[in-house]
Structure 1
Amino acid sequence: MAEPIRSILVVGGGTAGWMAAAALKTATGPYCRVRLVESDDIGIVGVGEATVPTIRDFNRMIGLDEVAFMRETKASLKLGIQFVGWGSENTTYFHPFGAYGAARDLGDFHQVWLSLRARGMASGLDAYSLCTQAAYAGRVGPLNPDPRTPEGLIASAFHFDAGLYALHLRKVCEAKGVERVEGKIVEVIQRPDGFVDQVRLEGERTLDADLFIDCTGFRGLLIEGALKAGYEDWSHWLPMNRAVAAPCAKVGPITPYTRATADAGGWRWRIPLQHRTGNGYVYSSQFIDEQAAADRLVQTLDGELLAEPRHLRFVTGRRKAYWAKNVVALGLSSGFIEPLESTSIHLVHVGLNRLLQHFPDTDFSEANIAAYNRRVGRDVEQVRDFVILHYHLTQRQDAELWRYVSAMPIPDSLAERVELYRERGILLPLSADDYFSPTSWLAVMNGQGVEPRAHNPLYDLNNPQTQAAQLKRIEEAFADVAARLPLHDDFLRASGMAEAA
């Protein structure tokens, strides 16, 4: 009879490592020893500072005090992403969290909207998103709003300093009993059956465990270096392979949204924190060189440069196995999809949730591992498709990059979604596990100029005046609520999430 897992070793720190340690120690309590090994001499990537609303679920799962977390990580609230220049050079649209509309008796909101818009009886999409209205007004709602109130329609995530988040999680973990080991791994020792038995540190110390979590970044020290899981390259769909990041001084009020601005060789992010603004340029080396990308980033900053630009290289794709034998890869060790929709930390959370659902004993059932790999694979593929969507739908032809991505082949799974919307305005999730809701798909499709050839004709049978009146009430209510919410900076100070002015 198989024995229960009694020891877990998280290899690597950073955001992914400390998230793994926190989740696994919370789940196993005193019954399992959880250790994390990291070296102060090895830096972390740590430039991803924007999240999606599922980060709240993770914080709740590990019992995080969100007020303290926001204060210590210099966090701000995020209501969505503003996309500048993605449809064409002069277009701007907003991908909000939450949902469009409010009344449950409207059916599929977007079908009602398409039907009324065809009659000239509906406003633009932004009018029906409370998150969009609040974001553009620079206003935010409470962290845990009452769902019975209009404010309960606000969904938010965070911008935070990734390095400070890892430090905050370390404190949380150590208070739960996670043991941190300082050291650099020089050898991975395997059993005759290929399972990892131990890791050896400089100085000859060894650490063993029943289950190993690989959070060693792009190199995948265990999952690839030892177990040779293999890598599936998605560069033919996602050609961005470089990034340069640099912080600048905070200028003006904190905007409660991320901004992604399309540029000749890629796109630039802007992420406002309490104490500074995070900036970066994600690009393809096929279309712009490293120095030109760094120069362009610095030229477009809206505040004083605070540190020299930092360069990163990556290959978009995924491990062919996220879990092999007794090693589970999380974070960059498992693969990388560029940060356009802020999903890197979300996918760490997804991997951890799936691991808890498929938690092994020491027999490491092959069927269980295979099911985990299939489920996580589907999760990652739908994120991949959603990110590719932004490039595929561009109408820009002003630079070689945009001509290339607008014409490149796309996965069949994405092509089906796009065709369903083009033909009938259909946005139904294709899987119960889809993270991106119809709101997300509608925001990008409409924002980048896709016009459905038809919509569901059943919605034309309803009384258009009645439905238009309902939409008008939603529009007016959202505008009223957004105007009454507190300004972002004021809310952070009043709630104790930021230092008093």
Structure 2
Amino acid sequence: MTSDGAGRITKVVIVGGGTAGWMTAAALSRLVPSGVSVTLVESEEIGTVGVGEATIPSLLDYNRMLGIDEDAFVRATGATFKLGIEFRDWARLGDAYLHPFGTHGRDIGGVSFHQLWLRQAALDTATDGAGAGPIGDYCLSSVAARRGRFTRPSANPQSVLSTLSYAFHFDAGLYARFLRDLAEADGVVRVEGRVVDVERNAGTGFVEAVRLAGDRRIEGELFIDCSGFRSLLLGGALDVPFTSWREWLPCDRAWAVPSARRGALIPYTRATADVAGWRWRIPLQHRVGNGYVYSSAHVDDDAAKQALLAGLDGEAMGEPRQLRFEAGRRDRLWDRNCVAIGLSGGFLEPLESTSIHLIQSGITRLMSLFPDLGFSAVEIDEYNRVMLREYEQVRDFIILHYHATERSDSAFWEHCRTMALPASLEAKLALWSDKARVFREQGELFTPDSWIAVLLGQGIRPVSFDPLASALPADESARFLAHVRDMIDKTAAAMPTHEAFIAQNCAARTHQAA
């Protein structure tokens, strides 16, 4: 018994497999106390979305938490390393910039590096000097990505290599299989079957069991809904409402197709803006993942499909598959004894590769608030408060990419450029537009470096900069920036190529065979 008299949870049921289900199962199998059984129910009939192949650096924390050997994980999933995301044609046609992982330069005396860079850029403009150059020149992840190079960061904080940060591109289906093997080895029981009914307690409304085709019944005490867009438990049985964000994120469909590898194995994702949305390109060791996320109100399905196929740089490996969705989230992600993880709780398009992070975030916060049979309302409210805030913060960052554009060459971009914004994003843009202030709220996913890269990349220049940046003499500031840029350039040049690093450390067997 726990201290308040409520009993311990001993039976956890996960409804749905895929990335969300098996990430949850693997974490629970390794982190919950002994005596807790974990059962995962999934149906081969239904399948999974399985196109989310790009991640952000937070996934490293999840893998370490589970004690996963990184090279083994990379080999098993056909993964490559990711130093950032290249955005083409977003601010204007023909334009391109990189949102890199890692940091820009080094702060001095409490003054942020980007403020020093802005001040130097202003001085150069006034004096017709050589120019501070793009801010990406001061980020190792950005310079290495452009050169097609990769190595792991240094643990020495004095080394330039310590500023590098990375994530992965991987095959989502292979990742789910990798985690399933871990989870089942740790005692998770997988049950094959399609859920046909959800039993609830008549008095409390709590979920008591799920019924499967063939009149089978799976009982539980804590239920985790990983059923994808169907949201069988949270949205279906518990009828938790869905709040749409279509007014800010009008894309509601996607075509996805893998293609054969061609050319160098680049260490970054590419997102190319199109007439009614954007196309992704994600390089894996054994293939390339491609997709077109679009608004069905601005382009028809066949035209979107043809645009995707026309943009491939290798032969398509099969027919494109269509997905339909709506940006938004459930009003609560934890209701009674049911927690939604992944698409069953909300959806934000994969522009900044946040889908798997939001799965991970839901899991880690569930572990920090793991309930007993009393299901404390205070703890449930805290989970919902923190998770819903994170969804909104990620939402705002994605909206920024669409809204901060000069494009008016289609009805889609005209809508995005002129739409009203959430008040939370308006406030961030106002602080930036004045003196380039960027503050990271508690628990916010994206760092100031991420906001700075996208704001400048999308062409939003502030009126001024932090007055404290002028405390450093102009000639000293210029020398400092030149030194930083030179050190980063030399460090990137000494790194192995991305392809050579993988070949030496973690080449997948499927790729070696090819």
Band the TM-score falls in, shorter-chain normalisation: over 0.9
Cross-structure match for 1:62: 66
Q: Between 463-472 and 314-323, report the one with greater CA deviation.
A: 463-472
Which of 304, 311, 319 is residue 300 of structure 1 equivalent to? 311
Cross-structure match for 1:81: 85
Matched, 1:37 2:47: no
Cross-structure match for 1:353: 364
Gaps of 5+ in 2: 125-130
Give the deviation of 1:451 after TM superposition: 1.2
Matched, 1:125 2:129: no
Matched, 1:481 2:485: no
Matched, 1:158 2:168: yes
Cross-structure match for 2:392: 381
Is the partner of 2:118 in helix, strand or coil? helix
Matched, 1:427 2:438: yes
Aligned AA for 1:4? R
Q: Distance in 1 between matches of 2:194 and 2:108?
A: 55
Aligned AA for 2:111? G
Query: Aligned in 2, Cα 1:146/1:178: closer, same or farther, shift over 3 Å?
Result: farther
Cross-structure match for 1:230: 241
Query: Aligned in 2, Cα 1:29/1:237: closer, same or farther, shift over 3 Å?
Result: same
Cross-structure match for 1:261: 272
Q: 1:208-219, aligned counterparts within 5 Å?
A: 208-219=219-230
Cross-structure match for 2:456: 446
Q: Distance in 2 between matches of 1:149 and 1:99?
A: 13
Matched, 1:494 2:498: no
Matched, 1:324 2:335: yes
Aligned AA for 1:416? A
The percentage of counterpart residues that share the same residue type is: 48
Q: Deviations over 1:363-411 (max 9, x none)?
A: 1111111111001011111000000000110110111100010001110
Give the deviation of 1:481 after TM superposition: 0.8
Alignment TM-score, normalising by the size of structure 1: 0.98
Cross-structure match for 2:404: 393
Gaps of 5+ in 1: none
Q: Distance in 1 between matches of 2:25 and 2:66?
A: 10
Aligned AA for 1:26? R
Q: Distance in 1 between matches of 2:222 and 2:40?
A: 12
Is the partner of 1:187 in helix, strand or coil? strand
Give the deviation of 1:496 after TM superposition: 3.0
Query: Aligned in 2, Cα 1:105/1:486: closer, same or farther, shift over 3 Å?
Result: farther
Contact 2:294 2:304 survives alignment (8 Å):
yes
Q: Deviations over 1:156-186 (max 9, x none)?
A: 0000000000000000111111111111111
Contact 1:85 1:262 survives alignment (8 Å):
yes
Q: Between 26-35 and 484-493, report the one with greater CA deviation.
A: 26-35
Is the partner of 2:235 in helix, strand or coil? coil
TM-align CA RMSD: 1.3
Aligned pair count?
Answer: 500
Q: Deviations over 1:417-448 (max 9, x none)?
A: 0111111111122x121111111111111011
Which of 441, 456, 465 is residue 455 of structure 1 equivalent to? 465
Aligned AA for 1:302? D
Cross-structure match for 2:117: 113
Contact 2:98 2:136 survives alignment (8 Å):
yes
Q: Distance in 2 between matches of 1:254 and 1:146?
A: 28
Aligned AA for 1:263? D
Contact 1:68 1:497 survives alignment (8 Å):
no
Contact 2:77 2:508 survives alignment (8 Å):
no
Q: Distance in 2 between matches of 1:420 and 1:460?
A: 19
Give the deviation of 1:24 after TM superposition: 1.4
Query: Aligned in 2, Cα 1:359/1:104: closer, same or farther, shift over 3 Å?
Result: farther
Is the partner of 2:443 in helix, strand or coil? coil
Contact 1:106 1:112 survives alignment (8 Å):
no
Query: Aligned in 2, Cα 1:18/1:104: closer, same or farther, shift over 3 Å?
Result: farther
Cross-structure match for 2:128: none
Which of 370, 374, 379 is residue 363 of structure 1 equivalent to? 374
Cross-structure match for 1:102: 106
Query: Aligned in 2, Cα 1:147/1:160: closer, same or farther, shift over 3 Å?
Result: farther
Contact 2:153 2:162 survives alignment (8 Å):
no
Aligned AA for 1:95? H
